Structure 1
Amino acid sequence: MQNEQIHLTQQQPAWWLIIAEGQMLVCHGAQPVPFGCLDELPFPELDLTEHIVIGEFDGYPLVLVRMSDANQDMGLGEYKGLRYILGKVPDPLFNLVGRGFQIVNFLDTHRFCGQCGQPMQRIDWELAMKCFQCGHRCYPRVSPCIIVAIRKGKQILLANHVRHNKPGQEIYTTLAGFTEAGETLEQCVEREVYEEAGIKVKNIRYIKSQPWPFPHSLMMGFIADYAEGELTIDTNELNDARWFNFDDLPLLPPHGTIARLLIEKVRQRCL
Structure 2
Amino acid sequence: MFRPDNQPPERQGRAITIVFQRGELVSDLRSPQGCLLSLEQIEGDGWSIVREQFVGYWHERPCYAVEINADADLDPMRYHRGNLYHILGRVEEPVFAMAGRAAQLLAWERDHQFCGRCGRPMEADLGERAMRCPPCGTINYPRISPCIIVLVTRGEELLLARNANFPRPMYSTLAGFIEAGETAEETLAREVREEVGVEVRNIRYFGSQSWPFPNQLMLGYFADYAGGDIVCDPVEIADARWFHYRDLPQVPPPSSVAGQLIRHYIDSLN
Q: Same fold (TM over 0.5)?
A: yes
CA distance in 2 between partners of 1:97 and 1:147 (Å): 22
Pick aligned residue for 1:97 from 96, 99, 119 = 99
Matches within 5 A, 1:23-102: 23-29=24-30, 30-36=32-38, 38=40, 43-47=44-48, 51-69=52-70, 71-73=72-74, 76-102=78-104
Matches within 5 A, 1:15-30: 15-29=16-30, 30=32
CA distance in 2 between partners of 1:46 and 1:100 (Å): 18
Paired residues of 2:200 and 2:227 also in contact (CA < 8 A): yes
Deviation of 1:35 after TM superposition, in Å, equals 4.1
Paired residues of 2:50 and 2:67 also in contact (CA < 8 A): no
Paired residues of 1:70 and 1:79 also in contact (CA < 8 A): no
Q: Which residue of 1 aligns with 2:265?
A: 266
After superposition, give the CA deviation of every residue in 1:50-71 in whole Å (9 maximum; x if it has no partner): 5322012233222111112264
Paired residues of 2:207 and 2:219 also in contact (CA < 8 A): yes
Secondary structure, in 3 states, of the residue corresponding to 1:93? helix
Deviation of 1:232 after TM superposition, in Å, equals 1.1
Deviation of 1:235 after TM superposition, in Å, equals 0.9
What amino acid does structure 2 have at the position aligned with 1:57?
A: W
After superposition, give the CA deviation of every residue in 1:34-79 in whole Å (9 maximum; x if it has no partner): 34462x6663534569532201223322211111226433674221
After superposition, give the CA deviation of every residue in 1:223-260 in whole Å (9 maximum; x if it has no partner): 11111111111111100000001221111112311111
Paired residues of 1:172 and 1:251 also in contact (CA < 8 A): yes
* Residue 173 (str. 1) matches residue 172 (str. 2): yes
Secondary structure, in 3 states, of the residue corresponding to 1:24? strand
The 1:70/1:247 distance shift into structure 2, 3 A limit, reads farther
Q: Which residue of 2 aligns with 1:142?
A: 144
Pick aligned residue for 1:7 from 5, 11, 14 = 11
Size of the aligned set, in residue pairs, is 264
What amino acid does structure 1 have at the position aligned with 2:192?
A: V
CA distance in 1 between partners of 2:223 and 2:112 (Å): 38
Percent identity of paired positions between Structure 1 and Structure 2: 36
When normalised by structure 2's length, the TM-score is 0.90
Deviation of 1:92 after TM superposition, in Å, equals 1.8
Paired residues of 1:209 and 1:258 also in contact (CA < 8 A): yes
Q: Which residue of 2 aligns with 1:187?
A: 186
Q: Which residue of 2 aligns with 1:124?
A: 126
Paired residues of 1:221 and 1:262 also in contact (CA < 8 A): yes
Paired residues of 2:55 and 2:63 also in contact (CA < 8 A): yes
Question: What stretches of structure 2 of length at least 5 have no aligned partner?
Answer: none
Paired residues of 2:114 and 2:122 also in contact (CA < 8 A): yes
Paired residues of 2:53 and 2:105 also in contact (CA < 8 A): no
CA distance in 2 between partners of 1:251 and 1:17 (Å): 31
CA distance in 2 between partners of 1:92 and 1:55 (Å): 12
